[in-house]
Amino acid sequence: MTRIHTVLFDLDGTLLDTAQDLAHALNQLRQQYHLPPLPLATIRPHVGYGAKAMLKVGMDVTEEHPQYTTLLDEFLNFYRVCLTQTTKLFDGIDNVLTQLENKNIPWGIVTNKPSRFTFDLLKALKLDHRAACIICGDSLSRRKPDPDQILHACELLKQSPENCLYIGDTQTDALASRAAGTKTLIVLYGYLQEHEDPFAWGADGYAKVPADIIAWLDQK
Closest CA to 1 of 152, 183, 150: 183
21 is catalytic: no
Selected catalytic residue, list 10, 148, 173, 212: 10
Please check whether residue 181 is in contact with residue 161, taking contact to mean a CB–CB distance below 8 angstroms. yes
**Which residues, 6+ apart, have CB-to-CB distance to 14 below 8 Å?**
90, 167, 168, 169, 173, 187, 190
Please check whether residue 161 is in contact with residue 180, taking contact to mean a CB–CB distance below 8 angstroms. yes
**194, burial (CB in 10 Å: exposed 0-12, middle 13-18, buried 19+):** exposed
φ, ψ for residue 58 (rounded to 5)?
Answer: -90, -35
10 is catalytic: yes
Task: Work out whether the CA dihedral 127, 130, 135, 139 comes out positive or negative.
Answer: positive
Dihedral angle computed from the Cα positions of residues 177, 21, 81 and 49, in that order, rounded to the nearest 10 degrees: 30
Q: Which residues are catalytic?
A: 10, 12
